[in-house]
Amino acid sequence: MKTSVLLFFFLLFLSCKPLQPNTADLNQVNQFLDEWHLAASNADYNRYFDAFPPDGIFVGTDAAEHWTKSEFQDFAKPYFDRGKAWDFKAVERHIYFSKDQKTVWFDELLSTWMKGCRGSGVLVKIDDTWKIKHYVLSTTVPNEHIDAVIQIKEKTESLFLQSKTPQSAQ
């Protein structure tokens, strides 16, 4: 009886442990994201945009930049056509897996031409391939400089925000 109780609690303890992705899964996600950034640096339009499913979303650094995949493709094509789009390199990344290992959310600190940026997103596994369902790019602002940045953004973004009609969550 004592052995059964101990076995029960041992199994209960093991079942409560959070599911951790294995190293291969983490490496696969890191490689996918690194190759996606590299595709932009190499102006590989097809490889870059193949990383998104048809209903993928990209949110850029400008308040007006909330794009569907096709809208983002239209915006980005001239940059890729020049032979180099942008060069973002992750210097830090945090990756989190859903219980079923088919959804990932992540955030990354990026070294870019804009200096430090943050990227965050959601990946979904479709037919054993990761796709970027949603990606948000934002610039970083040191806390001691936020007041100056607010002054720069004041006129443009105030007008933009006033032009928006509040929408219900979709």
Mean pLDDT across the chain, nearest whole number? 88
**pLDDT tens-digit map of 153-165:** 887 888 778 887 7
User: Does the model's pTM come out above 0.85?
Assistant: no
Distance CA 158, CA 154 (A): 6
Q: Are strands 57-59 and 129-139 parallel, antiparallel or unpaired?
A: parallel
Number of domains the chain is built from? 1
Instruction: With respect to residue 13, please indicate whether it lies within any of the assigned structural domains.
Output: no
**pLDDT tens-digit map of 43-61:** 999 999 999 999 999 999 9
Distance CA 119, CA 126 (A): 22
Kindly state the percentage of the chain with pLDDT values over 90.
74
Instruction: With respect to residue 147, please indicate whether it lies within any of the assigned structural domains.
Output: yes
CATH number of the domain to which 41 belongs: 3.10.450.50
**pLDDT tens-digit map of 97-130:** 999 999 999 999 999 999 999 999 999 999 999 9
The CA-based dihedral angle spanning residues 112, 118, 123, 129, taken in that order and rounded to the nearest 10 degrees: 20
